[in-house]
């Protein structure tokens, strides 16, 4: 006997109606999340997890609290992390994890709306993490609540993973939950934007380079070795690599070329002292086709060759250079099992937004790779505009359009129904 036919179309309409009816509640939930700062650094993020659990409880969602030991967090360079898991089990079958991160970069200057206000102006909510990715705490929570409101027979389950280490690489967020065996979902969706479903992303290598010369009085420069001039020589060699990288092109739509950026440099003691030590930090974005070990070896070789070829203009000795890897985040490559996620999001995205939702790659790196590396197919989709720039994520006046939030919640709810009904 075949199973009785279920009219999914009618259920989609019911999901949409529930989300519309509870949208004011969803906005209040998001505002409350935005109003608790999670600036990283310094990364004191446990209070936000406590507040999130407190807000989820009246909805009937019990959040398991998984604090990362203080010693591990401190050694990592942060202050406190508690990751949350909400488990909703409906029956036998696949478990779908929905992951969003609560940690964010500090707000910086130039805001015209309070960065922790969650104020609504002209159809948009403003505040740090309104677009990346506290908005998707709300998207995923209210999509799951909408699904359960149908009271329909479902298979498998949903897990909400609300984690607090994306800005530093994710190892103390989803990486920690997965490594400790606290979760092992079959599929996952991570916080993203509404007008594309992301199936691949760049990798990232971050390194700290310290150039040691020998301090001297500026009046007698021959008695020292200028670490700053040495560092400039090395930096010129590193920046020249970007010209070569233009010849390396990814086949993944949405990703172009590798890029090396030096984002921080410090050194020296005073204007009248030849600098004895200069350090800088670099960020090398890797396209999915690149081998991270080969990329790192190549950069180390470039640094070593440049240091060896440095000729101090006045006296001086050879440079000593220390290179320390700070982060290696692998690229995310699509796993074959992600197709049901991609198909469902594209189908419902087109119906709800009224335009095609392409599947493509992004030059960012995210926590999704930590699931994919463990064989868990995943995609990136959530509430937000077409581009990072449009949302002002990581910049002043970050915001999310309320209609994008509403519609993305509907897309996720419908997708969960397709996969679990």
Give the pLDDT confidence of 4-28 residue by residue, as tens digits: 445 799 999 999 999 999 999 999 9
Give the closest residue to 245 by CA, choosing from 290, 215, 279, 186. 290
**Phi then psi dihedrals of residue 162, to 5 deg:** -105, 110
Question: ω into residue 106 within 30 of 0, thus cis?
Answer: no
**Around Cβ 223, how many Cβ atoms within 10 Å?**
14
Residues 99 and 216 in one domain: no
Query: What number of CA atoms fall less than 13 Å from residue 370's CA on the CB side?
Result: 23
Is 379 part of any domain?
A: yes
- Which domain-ending residue is among 329, 344, 369? 329
pLDDT at 258: 97
Residues 197 and 207 in one domain: no
Is 315 part of any domain?
A: yes
Is 302 part of any domain?
A: yes
Q: CATH code at 29?
A: 3.40.630.10
SS3 137: helix
Residues 60 and 109 in one domain: yes
Is 1 part of any domain?
A: no
Is 3 part of any domain?
A: no
Residues 73 and 190 in one domain: yes
Q: In what order do the strands lie in the sheet with 203-212?
A: 259-267, 277-286, 203-212, 320-329
CA dihedral of residues 131, 133, 135, 137 (deg, nearest 10):
180
pLDDT at 6: 58
Is 2 part of any domain?
A: no
Residues 415 and 314 in one domain: no
pLDDT at 5: 46
Residues 178 and 239 in one domain: no
Residue length, the chain?
A: 421
Give the integer Cα–Cα distance in Å for 414 and 14.
10
In the chain, the number of structural domains is: 2
Residues 339 and 319 in one domain: no
Residues 42 and 166 in one domain: yes
Do residues 332 and 132 touch, judged by C-beta distance below 8 A? no
The residue segments making up the domain with residue 318 are 203-329
Residues 6+ apart with CB under 8 A from 9: none
The per-residue pLDDT for range 333-365, each reduced to its tens digit, is 888 899 999 999 999 999 999 999 999 998 888
pLDDT at 83: 98
Give the integer Cα–Cα distance in Å for 8 and 98.
22
**Segments of the chain scoring below 70 in pLDDT:** 1-6, 315
């Amino acid at each position: 006997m075949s199973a009785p036919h279920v009219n999914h179309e009618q259920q989609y309409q019911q999901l949409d109606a529930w989300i519309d009816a509870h949208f004011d509640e969803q906005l209040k939930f998001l505002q409350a999340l935005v109003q608790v700062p999670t600036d990283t650094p310094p990364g004191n993020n446990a209070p936000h997890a406590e507040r999130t659990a407190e807000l989820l409880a009246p909805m009937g969602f019990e959040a398991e609290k998984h604090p990362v030991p203080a010693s591990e967090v401190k050694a990592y360079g942060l202050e406190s992390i508690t990751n949350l898991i909400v488990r909703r089990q409906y029956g036998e079958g696949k478990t779908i994890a929905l992951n969003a991160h609560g940690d964010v970069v500090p707000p910086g200057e130039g805001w015209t709306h309070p960065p922790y206000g969650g104020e609504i102006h002209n159809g948009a909510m403003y505040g740090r993490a309104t677009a990346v990715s506290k908005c998707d705490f709300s998207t995923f929570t209210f999509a799951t609540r909408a699904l359960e409101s149908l009271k329909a027979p479902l298979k498998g389950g949903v897990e909400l993973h609300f984690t607090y280490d994306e800005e530093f690489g994710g190892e103390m967020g989803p990486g920690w939950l997965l490594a400790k065996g606290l979760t092992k979902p079959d599929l996952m969706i991570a916080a993203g934007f509404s007008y594309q479903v992301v199936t691949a992303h760049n990798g990232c290598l971050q390194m700290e380079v310290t150039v040691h010369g020998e301090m001297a009085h500026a009046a007698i420069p021959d008695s020292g070795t200028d670490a700053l001039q040495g560092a400039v020589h090395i930096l010129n060699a590193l920046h020249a690599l970007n010209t070569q990288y233009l010849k390396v092109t990814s086949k993944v739509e949405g990703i172009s070329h590798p890029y090396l950026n030096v984002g921080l440099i410090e050194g020296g003691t005073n204007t009248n002292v030849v600098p004895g030590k200069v350090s800088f930090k670099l960020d090398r974005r890797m396209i999915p086709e690149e081998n991270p070990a080969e990329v790192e070896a190549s950069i180390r070789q470039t640094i070593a060759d440049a240091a060896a070829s440095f000729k101090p203009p006045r006296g001086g000795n050879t440079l000593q250079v220390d290179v320390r890897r700070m982060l290696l985040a692998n690229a995310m490559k699509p796993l074959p099992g992600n197709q049901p996620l991609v198909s469902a999001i594209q189908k419902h995205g087109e119906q709800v937004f009224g335009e095609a939702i392409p599947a493509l790659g992004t030059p960012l790196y995210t926590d999704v790779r930590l699931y994919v590396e463990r064989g868990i197919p995943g995609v990136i989709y959530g509430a937000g505009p077409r581009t990072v720039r449009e949302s002002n994520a990581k910049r002043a006046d970050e915001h999310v359009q309320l209609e994008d939030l509403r519609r993305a919640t509907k897309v996720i709810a419908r997708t969960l129904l397709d996969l679990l009904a």
